Amino acid sequence: MTTASPSSSAQAAREALAVRLSHLRKDAGLTGKELSARCGWHPAKTTRIQKGAAAPSDADIRIWCSACGADDQADDLIATARAVDSMYMEWRRLHRNGMRQVQEDWYALHEQTRHCRVYVSNLPPGFLQTPAFATALMEQITRFQGTPDDVAEAVAARVARSRFLYEGGHLYVVVLEESVLRYRTADPGAMRGQLRHLLAVMPLASISLGIIPFTAQRTVWPLEAFYVHDDTMAVVETLTAEIKVTQPREVADYAKAFAGLASMAVYGDAARALIQAAIDALE
Q: What is the pLDDT of residues 210-244, one digit of tens each?
A: 999 999 999 999 999 999 999 888 999 888 878 88
Are the CB atoms for 69 and 123 separated by under 8 Å? no
Kindly list the distances between the CA atom of residue 92 and the CA atoms of 121, 148, 189, 207, 240, in Å, as whole numbers in the listed order.
22, 10, 30, 31, 8
Are the CB atoms for 267 and 210 separated by under 8 Å? yes
3-state helix, strand, coil in the chain (%, to 5): 55, 15, 30
**Which is nearest to 267 in space by CA: 214, 223, 212?**
212
d(CA 25, CA 198): 57
d(CA 57, CA 78): 8
pLDDT, residue 85, reads: 64
Q: Which letter does DSSP use for residue 96 in this model?
A: B
d(CA 111, CA 107): 6
pLDDT, residue 212, reads: 98
**Which is nearest to 5 in space by CA: 165, 238, 211, 252?**
238
pLDDT, residue 1, reads: 39
In sequence order, the 6+-apart residues with CB closer than 8 A to the CB of 14 are: 2, 5, 52, 55, 84
pTM, 2 dp: 0.74
pLDDT, residue 187, reads: 96
Q: What sign results for the dihedral spanned by CA atoms 47, 52, 58, 63?
A: positive
Q: From the first residue on, what is the mean pLDDT of each consecutive set of 10 residues in the chain (283 residues)?
A: 48 80 94 94 93 87 94 84 69 80 79 93 95 95 91 89 87 97 96 98 96 97 95 87 80 95 98 98 87
Strand boundaries in 139-238, DSSP class E: 171-177, 207-212, 226-229, 233-237
pLDDT, residue 6, reads: 45
**Which is nearest to 208 in space by CA: 262, 133, 261, 254?**
262
Residue 218, amino acid: R
pLDDT, residue 54, reads: 82
Are the CB atoms for 116 and 227 separated by under 8 Å? yes
